[in-house]
Chain A
Amino acid sequence: MLRITGGKVYDPANKIDGQIKDLNIDADGKFSDGQCDSRTIDATGMIVMPGGVDVHTHVAGGAINFARAMTPEDHRRTQAFIRTKTRRSGLGGMAPTTFATGYLYAGMGWTTVNEAAVPVLSARHTHEELADIPIVDKSTLTLMANNEIMLDQMEAGEYERARDVVAWYIWAAKSYGVKAVNPGGVAAWKWGGDARNLSSPIEGYNKLTPGTIVTQLARICDDLGLPHPMHLHCNDLGAPGNIKTTLDTLKHLEGSRAHIAHSQYHAYGGDGWETICSATAELAEYFNSHPNITTDAGAVIFGDTVTITADGPWQHLLYKLTGRKWGNLDVENETGCGIVPYTYRPSNLVNAVQWACGLELLLLIQSPWQVFLSTDHPNGGCFWRYPEIIKLLMSRDFRDECIKKLPSNIKNKIVLPEIAREYTLMDVATSMSAGPARALGLKQKGNLGTGCDGDVVIYDQEDDPGEMFAHPRYVIKAGEVIIDDGEIREAPDGREYIAKPFYDPATNDFMRPLFEDCYTMQFENYPVEIERVHGASIHDCKNDQDS
């Protein structure tokens, strides 16, 4: 179906580092050994990589939609997509509209995205929006760590029951895995509190602590055989000195797999806004000695954005700090949700430290198989600005230039100026594609080997990596040429990956009375029907205990 010849191939999964190699994609859109005699792309002198995979982004669902509604000022100034034969209309900006999200990701060479925070209550809405994000393949994670029905099981010491409940919820949401946000903290916020250390009982519970939730939920994800481990947004996000909490959290995860989300927001020293400093060296050291744990950077880029998270208490604090708009969504007893527009400024010391921290983690964690490119879109910056981060990673001179613009009193607060490392193209390919694909358990992604999905991005080699990564020459999705010379040629629908973990069939009857007791909707209307998920691809989970 498609043949790519003569390109310099960077395929970390197969340890191909810049060798010239031909690629063949068959009629099913997968790489094959056999040659085919249809269209050939001559990629001589070009760079070939697997399509990008975003392990942590927010592109669909109640929260991002609320963010869109809250920021009309951004819609007035942002890039407009005008309808053409192959393209629907839409808007880019801080929280791009659905179709524009697909065009922007694909335009940059990303072909798979993981929507990292979906409450089951808005799962149906999320799947409908994902259906309207063209080109890219998608997966979603279900918010669990503040779900009161599950927390009650943990409080009662009913581990198996908690595991069945989690599996039931995953299948009800038709999601791909588990996201934990500020374990116990959001539940505590509903009592006016927060959970900023791991060993104190959570407000509203007698003995359950955030530490227990972290340990047990990670174990549940492993026991259920989910393709992606627990995806954890730690307690105490964004607070000066939170490195202690983060390291404590990591100790609670010993022995389990886990993915730590946007670790930049969890790597601060100091004890107040004036003394905040980078503690990335400590965190990176932990990652370097624990290869079972992965993370994404959650890097910050200066400029306007809108922050959205299930971490309701943090968003309330951010609103109090900024005095700007604040949105809060009620997600009943499942989780929280807050939205606050924010501007990261290089002149602001805290923002400058955050900017440095994201880059430091990407550079100090030695293995690009462990730390992935992300901005926690749109929290640290918009995903379409990833090429700027790649440029910062690949060029120390450019970093030094940017550091000069930071406040002078930042000197002893960050370690970035001392870091000499520069990303190679192989490092970039690992961090933007092969690594996140492996962490997500998507074996057919981020890999140019035989049988894998034919998702490829081809760049013209340029001196400025920012320009090069922002404007790929070709983007190919499942063997189809999507972008050719900056133009969208095709906009096919993507697939959605969902996981089907095993749970005791009696869980349904167990859930019903609890559900009817506390939810505002009918039990029968709650689970998302499989027909609602467009292009569903079901991943059967290996269950170690029950199968």
Chain B
Amino acid sequence: MGIKLTLIRQPTVPLEAEVLCPDTLADCSADEIAQLTIYHGKRQLPLSDFFEIEGEKSDEIEIHGDLKKVRWIGRGMSRGRLKIQGDVGMHLGAYMRDGLIEVKGDAGDWIGAEMKKGTIRIDGNAGGQIGAAYRGSRRGMRGGLIHVTGSAGLEVGMRMRRGIIVIGGSTRDFTGLQMKGGTILLGEGAEIRTGAWMNRGTIISLKALEVMPTFGIAIRQFTPPFMPLLAKALVSEGITLPENKSFDLYNGDLAVPGRGELLVLSS
């Protein structure tokens, strides 16, 4: 059996709870879990002050409640499974190394920031800086998959190096900012400045979007040969790509100068 945690009290200020991670909980008895330290603002409190805890010693974890103010869940996790019922706060799965995070609800900013491997699935909307590099870092996510069924915020995939981000809905400004590799798939397009400062990597939009003037058109009505491969890789994650579509391919950001690809579904 797994561990079930239920939020019993709404934090008044953000609650930093990086102990909510399979790596930590898997070795803890129920008593030890209750005594793990979380930070309510600057105050250090035991986990049991905010959560009702059922089960012990498992890397299968379920968390219930409105967790919008709970940050750093699944930080650096390397195994197991985190299921979250309800909205969740910033930095979910940051520095993640493996395992699975599933959220039924909305997520905050910085999910999967600088992650290396593993999967994050959000059945809802998410904030900005998904899979991004933290301020000052050279690289964002280096592998793994982040799937958001709804929409997302600013700077999605900022400085990402490898891995896949799939956004079912639309994203806001600066998607793929300074991207260095990897793939971003946009179901409903993005707002402005998509791929700004992009070095390498691929942004695929299944809807027309505004292309920056520093991107040059390479070819129109083009069917990228890698699309069936990408579709095949994503099928196991429950994501279906439309078949036999053609795209307009742009290269940029020429202001860098970069060699990124921006593929926009041909009208």
Query: When the two chains form their complex, are residues B134 and A324 in contact, meaning their CB atoms are under 8 A apart?
Result: no
Q: How far is the CA of A113 from the CA of B97 in the complex (A)?
A: 42
Residues of A within 8 A of B137 (CB): 73
- Chain B residue numbers with a CB within 8 Å of A71 are 136
Q: Which residues of A contact B135 (CB under 8 A)?
A: 72-73
Which residues from B are CB-within-8-Å of A72? 134-136
Contacts of B134 in A (CB 8 A): 72-73, 76
The proximity string for B residues 105-149 relative to A, scoring 1 for CB distances below 8 Å and 0 otherwise, is 000000000000000000000000000001111100000000000
Does residue A70 face the partner (Cβ distance < 8 Å to B)? yes
Residue of A nearest to B137 (CB): A73
Q: Are the CB atoms of B136 and A324 closer together than 8 Å?
A: no
Interchain CA distance A39-B40 in the complex, whole Å: 46
Q: Is the interface of A mostly helix, strand, loop or mixed?
A: helix
Q: Please measure, in the bound complex, the distance between the C-alpha atom of A73 and the C-alpha atom of B159, giving whole angstroms.
A: 14
Q: Which residue of B lies closest to A72 (CB)?
A: B136
Cβ distance B97 to chain A, nearest Cβ, rounded Å: 16
Q: Are A70 and B138 in contact (CB under 8 A)?
A: no
B136 — which chain A residues lie within 8 A by C-beta? 70-74
Q: Which residue of A lies closest to B135 (CB)?
A: A72
* Binary contact readout A75-92 vs B (1 if CB under 8 angstroms, 0 otherwise): 010000000000000000
Question: Least Cβ distance of A382 to chain B in Å?
Answer: 17
Cα-based distance from A76 to B114 in the complex (angstroms)? 13
Count residues on chain B whose CB falls below 8 Å from chain A CBs. 5
Closest to B139 in A: A73
Cα–Cα distance between A74 and B135 once the two chains are bound (Å): 10
Q: Give the distance in Å from the alpha carbon of A126 to the alpha carbon of B135 in the complex.
A: 27
Name which residue of chain B comes closest to A324, CB basis. Answer: B138
Shortest distance from the beta carbon of A233 to any chain B beta carbon, whole Å: 28
Closest-CB distance, B42 to chain A (whole angstroms): 12
Say how far A70's CB is from chain B's closest CB, in angstroms.
7
Q: Which of B135, B136, B137, B138 has the most CB of A within 10 A?
A: B136
Give the chain A neighbours of B138 by CB distance below 8 A. 73, 324
Bound CA–CA A265/B138 (angstroms): 26
Query: What's the Cα separation between A72 and B136 when bound, in Å?
Result: 5
User: Which B residues, 233 to 247, have Cβ-Cβ distances below 8 Å to chain A?
Assistant: none
- Centre residue among A74, A76, A324 by max chain B CB count within 10 A: A76
Q: How long is the Cα–Cα vector from A70 to B135 in the complex, in angstroms?
A: 10
Instruction: Give 1 or 0 for each of B32-73: 1 = CB within 8 Å of chain A CB.
Output: 000000000000000000000000000000000000000000
User: Least Cβ distance of B179 to chain A in Å?
Assistant: 15
Closest Cβ of chain B: how far from A516's Cβ, in Å? 40
CA distance A73 to B134 in the complex (A): 7
Give the CA-CA distance A71 to B137 in the complex, in Å.
Answer: 8
CB-nearest residue of chain B relative to A73? B136
Bound Cα distance A72, B135 (Å): 7
Residue in B closest to A69 when the chains form the complex, CB atoms = B136
The chain B residue sitting closest to A343, CB to CB, is B138
Among A70, A71, A72, A73, the one with the most B-chain Cβ atoms within 10 Å of its Cβ is: A73
**Complex: chain A residue closest to B256, CB-CB:** A323
CB distance from A75 to the nearest CB of B (A): 8
Give the CA-CA distance A324 to B136 in the complex, in Å. Answer: 11
Interface residues of A in 52-79 (CB under 8 A from B): 70-74, 76
List of B residues within 8 angstroms of A70 by Cβ: 136
Which residues 130-176 of B sit at the A interface, judged by CB distance below 8 A? 134-138
Least distance between A335 CB and chain B CB atoms (Å) = 26
CA A46 – CA B107 in complex, angstroms?
Answer: 59
**Interchain CA distance A71-B136 in the complex, whole Å:** 6
Contact with B along A184-223 (1 / 0, CB 8 A): 0000000000000000000000000000000000000000
For the complex, give the distance between the alpha carbons of A324 and B139 in Å: 12
The CA-CA distance from A73 to B138 in the complex, in Å, is 9
Bound-complex Cα distance A127 to B137 (A):
31
Give Cα A324 to B138, complex, Å: 8
A115 to B138, CA, bound (A): 30
CA distance A306 to B134 in the complex (A): 18
The residue in chain A whose Cβ has the minimal distance to the Cβ of B133 is A73
Contacts of A73 in B (CB 8 A): 134-138
> Which B residue sits closest to A77, measured CB to CB?
B137
How far, in angstroms, from A76 to B72 measured CA to CA in the complex?
Answer: 14
User: Closest CB of chain B to A100's CB: distance in Å?
Assistant: 18
Task: Provide the A149-186 mask, 1 if CB < 8 A to any CB of B, else 0.
Answer: 00000000000000000000000000000000000000
List which B214-244 residues lie within 8 A (CB) of chain A.
Answer: none
For chain A, residues 110 to 124, give those with C-beta under 8 angstroms from any C-beta of chain B.
none
Q: How far, in angstroms, from A515 to B247 measured CA to CA in the complex?
A: 63
| Shortest distance between the CB of A541 and any CB in chain B (Å) | 44
Minimal beta-carbon separation of A397 from chain B (angstroms) = 36
A303 → chain B closest CB, angstroms: 15
**Binary CB contact string for chain A from 449 to 491 against chain B (1 if under 8 A, 0 otherwise):** 0000000000000000000000000000000000000000000
Residue pairs across A and B with Cβ atoms less than 8 A apart, 13 shown, are A70-B136, A71-B136, A72-B134, A72-B135, A72-B136, A73-B134, A73-B135, A73-B136, A73-B137, A73-B138, A74-B136, A76-B134, A324-B138
Other 6 A-B pairs with CB < 8 A, given A70-B136, A73-B136, A76-B134: A72-B134, A72-B135, A73-B134, A73-B135, A73-B137, A74-B136
The 10 closest A-B pairs by CB, nearest first: A72-B136, A73-B136, A73-B137, A72-B135, A71-B136, A73-B134, A76-B134, A324-B138, A70-B136, A73-B138
